[in-house]
Structure formats: C-alpha cells, structure tokens
Amino acid sequence: MDKPLYGKTAIVTGASSGIGYATAIRLAKAGSAVVLQARREEKLQDLASKIKAMGGKALVAAGDATNPSNSDALLDKTLQWTEAGSKVDIVVVNAGRGLAGGVLTSDESAWREVFELNVLGAGHLMRIAASKMVAQKGGDIVVLGSNVGRNISPFSGFYGSSKFAVGALAEALRREVCPHGVRVSLVMPGIVLSEFQKTAGYNEENFGKGVAQFGKLLEPDDIAAGIVWLLSLPGHVNVNEIMIRPTGQNYP
Ligand SMILES: NC(=O)c1ccc[n+]([C@@H]2O[C@H](COP(=O)([O-])OP(=O)(O)OC[C@H]3O[C@@H](n4cnc5c(N)ncnc54)[C@H](OP(=O)(O)O)[C@@H]3O)[C@@H](O)[C@H]2O)c1
C-alpha cells in the first residue's frame, strides 16, 4: 500500500472517538506514527493496540485539551518519542464538542466549556505546535472547524460561534507561519454521525427530524480521508480550507 506520510509523526487530539479516531487510523495506514490524545485513556489504549496490530506506531498521551499544561506535556512527550529526533510533522487539532440550540435555547452552563475546548484549548495547541514547526521550518496543522462555523445556524448558534472563532484563528495563524514553510488547513465538516450528537444534546426532536431528508450522512472516515488527502499533497500546496458535507445536506 502507498504510504505518502511514511516517516512522519502526527498528534491527533480527540482520538478516542469519531473523526479523531478515524483520522488516527488513516494516518497510521499512510505511514505516520501517531500520538493519541483525549481524556478516556482506555479507548486510546485500545486504538493504539489496533494500530500496532496493523503494523503502525502509536503512543498514548491522555489529557484534557482545555488544560494548557496537558497540551504542553503532549507536545513534549511527542518530541521525546520521535525516532527522527525531536520533531512533530502533523498536528490535528480535533478535540471539540457541540451544543444543541441557539442563543436563547442552548444550555448556558455549557457555554464556557464549549469555548474553553473549541477555541482556547485549540488555540493553545495551535500556538505551541506552530512555534515548534516554525523552528523546524515545516509542518502541518489541521484544525477542525465546521460548516456552522461558516454559515451560522440558529439550531447550533452558540456552538457555531466557537467554530467561527477557531476558523478565524486558523487563518490568522496560517498568515503568520506560511513564510516558514508551515501549512495550516481548516477542515469544515457537515453532519457526521459520531458521539458528537449525544454530547451536544441532539435528539430525534431537535436533530433527527431536521436531517431526515438529507439522505446518507457522513461517517467519521469520510472526513479522515479528506484530511489524509490534503496532508499528502506536495509541500508547496496548502489546501487552506475544505468543507465536506453529505451530498444531500442543503442547510446549513
Ligand atoms: N460530528 C459532526 O457532525 C461535526 C461537524 C462539524 C465539526 N465537527 C468537529 O469535529 C471534531 C470531532 O468531532 P466528532 O464528530 O469526532 O465528535 P466526537 O465523536 O464526540 O469526538 C470528540 C472527541 O473529542 C474528545 N474530547 C472532548 N472533550 C475533550 C477534552 N476536554 N480534552 C480532550 N479531548 C476531548 C473526546 O474524547 P474524550 O471524551 O475521551 O475526552 C472525543 O475523542 C470536533 O471539533 C467537532 O466540533 C463535528
């Protein structure tokens, strides 16, 4: 099998479920060693065993993405682990959560956590990863935004605002670091079936009925395939942003 990312080392946050889990497997199949982060260590250990059984390399570094010192430790652990000598080639800033409802109807007690994870936690990891990549003169940062981070929806208005913010951070960072050979890509999925819906508080009433006419929704692996595709392009090509929706999703 073709291994376009052979010899690279990648961090994937939110690797215990959904898009992060699928991306870690795709990266490993493409030849990259992967460092797995999320809070649920057991799920990461299971994933690491699966990757190793496929002949890949995986390291578990469980932690909370809202805690900057956990993210610092994640990067340090990765740099100590790399056989190629203290470098990190790819960081997939994926850990995130949704929140059902608009400004009036969402659970305000979750607002702080949404921004701490989706914006501040993501921003800190982007900052430390980019700082290292500028010093090593290259690397890839892939940030998970959302289609509601470009087209706001009243059904997930507060969550969508956090994805507008992280999308702006991604483009701001890209402009800062592109002269140093560092690529930044914003990946904006449409509706992907994962643990996301349950965590966000979606149910048949506020989600199922609304998406019924969209046909087949996305699987996490559909997004993972897009991420590995853009990472596999020649170094002078940076897909700055990409939106991937189910074909039948006409809104948002
Ligand atoms: N699913 C969709 O429709 C959709 C659409 C657009 C964008 N996205 C974005 O895509 C990303 C992945 O979503 P998904 O669909 O894969 O959701 P998911 O299945 O719920 O996975 C979320 C991941 O984030 C991790 N996580 C949550 N809080 C964390 C924390 N404080 N520290 C570390 N890890 C944490 C979870 O692991 P632990 O619980 O083990 O920590 C899990 O691995 C998110 O940024 C989401 O906003 C999803």
For position 213, which CATH number holds?
3.40.50.720
The verdict on residue 250 lying in a domain is no
Q: How many domains does the chain have?
A: 1
Pairing outcome for strands 58-60 and 90-93: unpaired
Q: Which atom of ligand 1 is nearest to the CA of 97?
A: 47
Q: What is the pTM of this model?
A: 0.98
The verdict on residue 2 lying in a domain is no
- Per residue in 64-77, pLDDT (tens digit) is 999 999 999 999 99
Beta strands in the chain (DSSP E): 9-13, 33-37, 58-60, 90-93, 139-144, 182-189, 241-244
Q: Please report the pLDDT score of residue 150 as a whole number.
A: 97
Q: Please report the pLDDT score of residue 145 as a whole number.
A: 98
From CA 160, how far away is CA 151, in angstroms rounded?
Answer: 8
Mean residue pLDDT across the chain: 97
The verdict on residue 16 lying in a domain is yes
CA angle, residues 218, 64, 153, in degrees to nearest 5 = 40
Check residue 214 and give left, alpha or beta (phi > 0: left; psi -120 to 50: alpha).
alpha
- Per residue in 10-61, pLDDT (tens digit) is 999 999 999 999 999 999 999 999 999 999 999 999 999 999 999 999 999 9
Report residues whose beta carbon is within 6 angstroms of any ligand 1 atom. 13-20, 38-40, 64-66, 94-98, 117, 144, 146, 189, 191-192, 194-196, 199, 220
